[in-house]
Chains A and B, each alone.
Chain A
């Protein structure tokens, strides 16, 4: 060190200042370290509220609200891992990609052609069992069929879910997947376990003010009409046909149901109305989306086909009669719905 001149003094000052600054910096960084780092949380109280999934094969099932968030911070990542058969061997049939139809735009019920509907959905390849990446929702795609997927009464499959975010990860093990056999229509005559028919036909959904021809003093009821939903084999196109049969199982002319809104009976196009049937080109499944449209029931779960007519009844009263069916069809093909008036035929002419 040199003499005590001004320069040296400055040197000492700056060194002291430097020490002081260093001290403060150390102090501040020390403080920062004391504070816990902000991280998201995987909640100990979170979990799946549904651990057995029983989708029906052949239709797309979307399981939602099946995960209790608890104190888990969203967004979090969900991943299905380790899908396996009950025997423990892997289940590629659930993890391999299959072509499925996914919606790209919202179906509104206002579409004017099959092409317009088809433009709103597209074919993509997805695993049959799929989980939304940020929510525990499970999609079981309709491409899954019982010919390659073990359906009940088989005990089905097991899978695990990995939940992770920046707070850590957690595994939920041994969730069960036990698909049910295909039930292509609603209402159905098939047994859910065996997939075999247990009845020949089923009844109407509603029938009102329908007077029979034979006995005009009695209104026709649910037991007077049998309904059959059948798929043509082999099916070549996607159509839906309505037929009406009299007591002798002879075809009736649909035109007698004179106030029926044929154009909007179902969301179908190219209506072919003959003396024996009415046929539409349709897009399957019916209903396409379970939202309420003019073609569905008010909850949107099933399509609603209503046949109505108006006549002057006994004493000159105007009678508005109707019958119909709430139905769903999940399997594409040439389907027909047949109404058989087995006991009496509805009266559609005026009482004069």
Chain B
């Protein structure tokens, strides 16, 4: 065998070259092999002609036969491999043609990029985009593939701040694109648009406004099995996203699933068995220590000794230490967190030839959450097929049906309030349903079953009715239905059982017609263009019923409940939207050296005002592949090089139809007739505009030293205008509020990707390091009513931290600035005029030793809202990742490190921990060990003089804590550096030798060992610097991220 290849190789290399270049048809026989493995590569597409048209595919041994003219360029392409170009010469006919395909990553220039329903070779792509191969997404079992995109693309900031199985973290391209906040402190999500096999999926709509909405809480992206993904394209600038129209303002992520490409059907099976372990649990003081700590605090700080004794005696948990009920040391955390064993199985069958090919993918994913009674299961069946009977007609069909099933446990997707409270309850209590945490402790009694079903269907038709003129139609349909069923038995719900049923349905229909032409003028000049019309309709409706008081816990039925206390109906977040877009585009390409793209869109949405009409959204972009210039062509070290530039505008519909047209509401009866009148809460704004982003991008990319080093740099400036914001109207207007478009922001930054192949391609060891990084800043540039600044109050579950909007600055929380702790009362500043000490609020509450020293900004000796300062930077300035692959023979080691830098977090977790010494001093609650904190301790026998130079104020003075709230979150004491470096993946994999596999009739088999979310390096003292809200607040109520250890096997027959 080996001798055979060697002979062929020698013949090929020494080659009988024939200079004649006639147009005679010849028949070639050849074989395509994997360059690294040396094995035949089945399913490689062989294309010929200009533009290249697939003519055949290689068989299971990599062999192929093709009849072409001499001098034709043959293109050999396969997903995950670099395209190989080969010019047919007469010499090739006499022997077997031997082609080696190299795995991609070796030179990324020949990648095929997606730019809006069209694929382009990367050297013709004028926009800023990046591609992630599906291969790098296979080794870590995750419920949502978005988790794996973290750190892989410069500028794509993924924060996995929700470890809930089936949920989704925050994803922003080039930073958040919105400055709207909800009143409870969430930034409006601006996730890029996902396009799955041509179907747009807008993940922002299901998760709008801070996750507190009801519903099954399953992200639609979580229903796509990662094993089925061929590649992921991330489109960043206006040129790349222009084709996607009115929802592409925040960027586009295109997910392409695998496709059948082999005459002999390929059956592949992959399985992952993985265990998820909870993060390090927080230390607490157990049992007796908790009791003594509380008793000591009461004795030390109550107003009198008699009162202190009375208080202690009143609360049996403190005084009745001999009672077994109050004499425990229960670590609640261990009852709620667990290590779980999970699995993921995928079977894929694919095959076919050029005229017809198909793929079927069956996936089962099961993950039990690390919090008890939570989990996620995915059942997914997807198929696609391509029918290409004649050269000028093509039909693609794909269908994907998936069902997600989720146990939400005691809470909704984002917050785990009940578990949060339960693990903070007193350790003195026994672990039983009779104690305060009974409801959570007995979670299994709550029957909670949430489901989300998703059907994606697309049909692509393509007909080249005249040479160079193609009519395309792309129809896609997405239907998503979610249900939620929760039943709480009466003994957990104040003797009144409760059944909640929720159902929603959402549909999106898109149709896109385009007429495209390609024209070669002369040898090198290519002109292409076309016109596109797209329409989209989308609807959503949800209903929810809460039935209370069933006759018994066994009856969960439709009768017998208490109608007086039951509620239900259609939720008011229903919508029905339409979008229409028309696009004309032109593209000039001279010798692949100079490329210019022009796009002009006209967009209208149903949430535009009628007087806003169609919005004109042009974009222009250009690319110069400078290595093709003559004066640079003899530079050996320059493999390729290009400069890109683009400018363009895109819109995103915001607001709803009621902002535009107002609302009629039904009033009281008058003369026995219902009355209908206009809702005076909001005045209609018929000129309401959608959010508009204008993006300018410059980039350069080049490969040096035979692509051993590749550099990709982008810089951008982006404005987001016309963001909807409600303003209050003067009461003389008759209406209370108005939605305006007067808010704008700008963001700008740099992105850099470096890929380094450390060893030359001939070496047996291959080491590839790809590092990317992005710097991003955003500033407010316009506020309603011409204001320079306003303060937005945020009611954030007790800790109210207002946010300041100031021109030229990003949104910033307003907090008190700490400069330590008053060592003694004598240190408290005194108002020279009145002789009064610094006070908290103008209420006669004077600061004393042990209190936090907050800076009195306005110098009035009163600490109040006027002393709040905009401090900290809640948004990450720098994000990125490093991806390293080391390959030696059949072993491969993959390491991924992600980072987020220059970001401040308000450590609400520490604030809550420290205030737990006083907040529940009588009712009880777990308290953390305090030795690690440099806190103020009173001198012996004193109450108001103590530690000099303490950082944390006195945690024990419970009498004053209610007013002073010394551990309030809105102080710089808890503002910490939230930068982190995270080892997010280590994978060791082994490819079995083909000789060994042949015995089992397998073509390939691969074993991998993976550890994910391995370790986070951070100076942050809270639990996890990633598990914070998009506004940098560590509420610690979220679902923690688990560490995963996985064993995976994938075989192919």
Instruction: Decide: A135 and B859 in contact? CB cutoff 8 A.
Output: yes
Least CB distance from B822 to A in Å reads 11
Cβ-closest chain A residue relative to B746: A35
Q: Does A290 contact B (CB under 8 A)?
A: yes
Least CB distance from B85 to A in Å reads 27
Instruction: Decide: B700 and A62 in contact? CB cutoff 8 A.
Output: no
Instruction: Decide: B807 and A69 in contact? CB cutoff 8 A.
Output: no
Instruction: Decide: B835 and A121 in contact? CB cutoff 8 A.
Output: yes
Cβ-closest chain A residue relative to B626: A16
**CB contact under 8 A between A31 and B717, given known A39-B808, A103-B835, A135-B860:** yes
The residues in A between 7 and 52 inclusive whose CB is less than 8 angstroms from any CB of B are 9, 12-13, 16, 20, 23-24, 27-28, 31-32, 34-41, 43
Question: Chain B residues near A317 (CB, 8 Å)?
Answer: none
Q: Does A104 contact B (CB under 8 A)?
A: yes
Q: Does B788 contact A (CB under 8 A)?
A: yes
Instruction: Decide: A13 and B789 in contact? CB cutoff 8 A.
Output: no
CA distance A281 to B844 in the complex (A): 28
**CB contact under 8 A between A71 and B632, given known A34-B717, A132-B860:** no
**CB contact under 8 A between A135 and B866, given known A41-B788, A65-B842:** yes
Instruction: Decide: A64 and B860 in contact? CB cutoff 8 A.
Output: yes
Question: Chain A residues near B803 (CB, 8 Å)?
Answer: none
Question: Chain B residues near A103 (CB, 8 Å)?
Answer: 830-835
Instruction: Decide: A139 and B833 in contact? CB cutoff 8 A.
Output: yes
Among the interface residues B833, B834, B860, which one has the most CB atoms of the partner chain A within 10 A?
B833
The residues in B between 833 and 856 inclusive whose CB is less than 8 angstroms from any CB of A are 833-837, 842, 844, 846
**B interface residues, Cβ below 8 angstroms from A:** 626, 631-632, 634-635, 643, 696, 698, 700, 715, 717, 719, 746, 748, 779, 781, 787-791, 806-809, 825-826, 828, 830-837, 842, 844, 846, 857-860, 862, 866-867
Least CB distance from B840 to A in Å reads 14
**CB contact under 8 A between A62 and B833, given known A38-B808, A41-B789:** yes
Question: Chain A residues near B842 (CB, 8 Å)?
Answer: 64-65
**CB contact under 8 A between A35 and B779, given known A13-B632, A106-B825:** yes
Cβ-closest chain A residue relative to B865: A69
A106 interface neighbour in B635, B807, B837, Cβ under 8 Å: B837
A and B contact pairs by CB, cutoff 8 A, 10 listed: A34-B719, A35-B748, A75-B858, A76-B858, A102-B833, A103-B832, A108-B825, A135-B859, A135-B866, A167-B788
Instruction: Decide: A135 and B858 in contact? CB cutoff 8 A.
Output: yes
Ranked 3 nearest A-B pairs via Cβ = A38-B808, A289-B835, A102-B832
Name the prevailing secondary structure of the B interface residues. Answer: mixed
Q: Does A291 contact B (CB under 8 A)?
A: yes
Chain A interface residue count, Cβ-Cβ cutoff 8 angstroms: 53
Question: Chain B residues near A43 (CB, 8 Å)?
Answer: 789
Cβ-closest chain A residue relative to B716: A31
Cβ-closest chain B residue relative to A102: B832
The residues in A between 126 and 162 inclusive whose CB is less than 8 angstroms from any CB of B are 132-135, 137, 139, 141
Least CB distance from A27 to B in Å reads 6
CA distance A292 to B836 in the complex (A): 11
Q: Does A73 contact B (CB under 8 A)?
A: yes
Instruction: Decide: B806 and A64 in contact? CB cutoff 8 A.
Output: no
Question: Chain B residues near A28 (CB, 8 Å)?
Answer: 715, 748
Among the interface residues B632, B748, B860, which one has the most CB atoms of the partner chain A within 10 A?
B860
CA distance A289 to B789 in the complex (A): 39
Least CB distance from B141 to A in Å reads 42
Question: Chain B residues near A134 (CB, 8 Å)?
Answer: 857-860
Q: Does A288 contact B (CB under 8 A)?
A: yes
Cβ-closest chain B residue relative to A32: B748
Question: Chain A residues near B846 (CB, 8 Å)?
Answer: 106, 291
Instruction: Decide: B833 and A141 in contact? CB cutoff 8 A.
Output: yes
Least CB distance from B942 to A in Å reads 13
Instruction: Decide: A13 and B715 in contact? CB cutoff 8 A.
Output: no
Instruction: Decide: A37 and B808 in contact? CB cutoff 8 A.
Output: yes
Question: Chain A residues near B719 (CB, 8 Å)?
Answer: 34
Least CB distance from B255 to A in Å reads 32
Q: Does A242 contact B (CB under 8 A)?
A: no
Question: Chain A residues near B867 (CB, 8 Å)?
Answer: 74
Instruction: Decide: B833 and A60 in contact? CB cutoff 8 A.
Output: yes
CA distance A62 to B833 in the complex (A): 7
**Knowing that A36-B807, A106-B826 are A-B contacts, what are 8 other residue pairs whose CB atoms are under 8 Å apart, sorted by A's residue number?**
A27-B696, A35-B779, A41-B806, A60-B834, A62-B831, A73-B789, A103-B831, A300-B844
Question: Chain A residues near B631 (CB, 8 Å)?
Answer: 9, 12
Least CB distance from A262 to B in Å reads 25
Instruction: Decide: B834 and A290 in contact? CB cutoff 8 A.
Output: yes
Question: Chain B residues near A76 (CB, 8 Å)?
Answer: 858
CA distance A60 to B835 in the complex (A): 11
Instruction: Decide: A39 and B830 in contact? CB cutoff 8 A.
Output: no
Cβ-closest chain A residue relative to B718: A31
Question: Chain A residues near B790 (CB, 8 Å)?
Answer: 71
CA distance A102 to B835 in the complex (A): 8
B860 interface neighbour in A27, A104, A137, Cβ under 8 Å: A137
Question: Chain B residues near A60 (CB, 8 Å)?
Answer: 833-834
Question: Chain B residues near A137 (CB, 8 Å)?
Answer: 860
Q: Does A284 contact B (CB under 8 A)?
A: no
Least CB distance from B120 to A in Å reads 23
B836 interface neighbour in A12, A40, A106, A133, Cβ under 8 Å: A106
Cβ-closest chain B residue relative to A27: B698
Least CB distance from A294 to B in Å reads 15
CA distance A60 to B831 in the complex (A): 12
Question: Chain A residues near B626 (CB, 8 Å)?
Answer: 16
B781 interface neighbour in A35, A74, A167, Cβ under 8 Å: A35
Question: Chain A residues near B781 (CB, 8 Å)?
Answer: 35-36
Question: Chain A residues near B825 (CB, 8 Å)?
Answer: 106, 108
Question: Chain A residues near B807 (CB, 8 Å)?
Answer: 36, 38-39
Instruction: Decide: A24 and B835 in contact? CB cutoff 8 A.
Output: no
Q: Does A107 contact B (CB under 8 A)?
A: yes
**CB contact under 8 A between A20 and B832, given known A13-B635, A36-B781, A106-B825:** no
Question: Chain B residues near A65 (CB, 8 Å)?
Answer: 842
Least CB distance from A211 to B in Å reads 34
Least CB distance from A217 to B in Å reads 40
Q: Does A105 contact B (CB under 8 A)?
A: yes
The residues in A between 61 and 94 inclusive whose CB is less than 8 angstroms from any CB of B are 62, 64-65, 69, 71, 73-76
Question: Chain A residues near B635 (CB, 8 Å)?
Answer: 9, 13
CA distance A39 to B842 in the complex (A): 29
Question: Chain A residues near B834 (CB, 8 Å)?
Answer: 60, 62, 103, 289-290
Least CB distance from A309 to B in Å reads 27
Instruction: Decide: A35 and B808 in contact? CB cutoff 8 A.
Output: yes
Least CB distance from A14 to B in Å reads 12
Instruction: Decide: B835 and A288 in contact? CB cutoff 8 A.
Output: yes
Instruction: Decide: B866 and A69 in contact? CB cutoff 8 A.
Output: yes
CA distance A62 to B862 in the complex (A): 13
Least CB distance from B623 to A in Å reads 14
Question: Chain A residues near B832 (CB, 8 Å)?
Answer: 102-104, 124
Question: Chain B residues near A71 (CB, 8 Å)?
Answer: 787-791
CA distance A71 to B807 in the complex (A): 13
Instruction: Decide: A74 and B858 in contact? CB cutoff 8 A.
Output: yes
Question: Chain B residues near A64 (CB, 8 Å)?
Answer: 842, 860, 862
Among the interface residues A38, A43, A65, which one has the most CB atoms of the partner chain B within 10 A?
A38
Instruction: Decide: B779 and A105 in contact? CB cutoff 8 A.
Output: no
Least CB distance from B727 to A in Å reads 14
A20 interface neighbour in B643, B748, B779, Cβ under 8 Å: B643
Instruction: Decide: A38 and B860 in contact? CB cutoff 8 A.
Output: no
Least CB distance from B343 to A in Å reads 50
CA distance A18 to B334 in the complex (A): 62
CA distance A64 to B787 in the complex (A): 27
CA distance A323 to B632 in the complex (A): 106
CA distance A153 to B418 in the complex (A): 67
**CB contact under 8 A between A104 and B830, given known A31-B748, A39-B808:** yes
Least CB distance from B524 to A in Å reads 22
Question: Chain B residues near A102 (CB, 8 Å)?
Answer: 832-833
Least CB distance from A140 to B in Å reads 9
Least CB distance from B628 to A in Å reads 14
